[in-house]
């Protein structure tokens, strides 16, 4: 079968390509067609299972924080200043607040730790919860 394909394709190939070289090229192409998609699927599976999502960010197995948007390692846990809006006597008033968050070097935004109800949690609490044994069914 390979000889038939070689005879048909030899019209378009240089004369230096012999049957053993042609066979090797065909085997390499078949392996590439199989190995490259399989490797890509493995890489996607590895990347998907590399992190766990808790407290609004991604964590690896060493409990290092990663940005949920761009998947880069988050920067320092710092104090940030911001504003919140409150209703006082029928008027909306802007109040200054201070909160703690990680710095994402790629997204350039602060990333807060929040629980499943949306309340802010401390880094110490989040790390303690990550290290505690899982009680999920």
pLDDT by residue (tens digit) across 28-71? 888 889 988 888 888 888 777 788 899 999 998 888 999 988 88
Confidence check: pLDDT of 82 > 70? yes
Torsion of CA 20, 26, 30, 33, to 10 degrees: 140
Element (H, E) at 116: none
The pTM is what?
0.60
* Residue 137 scores a pLDDT above 60: no
- Are the C-beta atoms of 88 and 51 separated by less than 8 Å? no
Output 13 or 98, whichever has higher pLDDT.
98
Structural domain boundaries in the chain: 2-49, 53-131
Q: Alpha helices of the chain — where are they, by DSSP H?
A: 2-9, 19-49, 123-131
Residue of 64, 38, 45 whose CA lies nearest to 130 = 64
Q: List the one residue out of 87, 89, 85, 62 whose CA is nearest residue 73.
A: 62
Gyration radius from the chain CA atoms = 28
Round to whole Å and give the CA distance between 58 and 69: 9
- Quick one: which H or E segment has residue 100? strand 91-103
Give the pLDDT score at 136: 57
Statement: residue 22 has pLDDT above 60: yes
User: b/e for 20-56, b at 16 or more Cβ within 10 A?
Assistant: eebeeeeeeeeeeeeeeeeeeeeeeeeeeeebeebbb
């Amino acid at each position: 079968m390979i000889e038939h394909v070689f005879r048909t394709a030899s019209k378009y190939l240089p004369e230096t390509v012999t049957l053993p070289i042609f066979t090797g090229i065909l085997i390499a192409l078949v392996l590439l067609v199989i190995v490259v998609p399989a490797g890509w699927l493995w890489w996607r599976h590895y990347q998907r299972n590399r992190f766990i999502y808790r407290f609004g960010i991604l964590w690896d197995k060493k409990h290092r924080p990663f940005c949920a948007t761009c998947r880069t390692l988050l920067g320092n846990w710092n104090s940030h200043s911001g504003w919140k809006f409150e209703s006082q006597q029928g008027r909306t008033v802007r109040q200054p607040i201070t909160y703690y968050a990680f710095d994402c070097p790629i997204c350039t935004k602060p990333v807060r730790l929040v629980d499943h109800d949306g309340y802010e949690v401390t880094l110490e609490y989040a790390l303690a919860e990550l290290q505690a044994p899982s009680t999920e069914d």
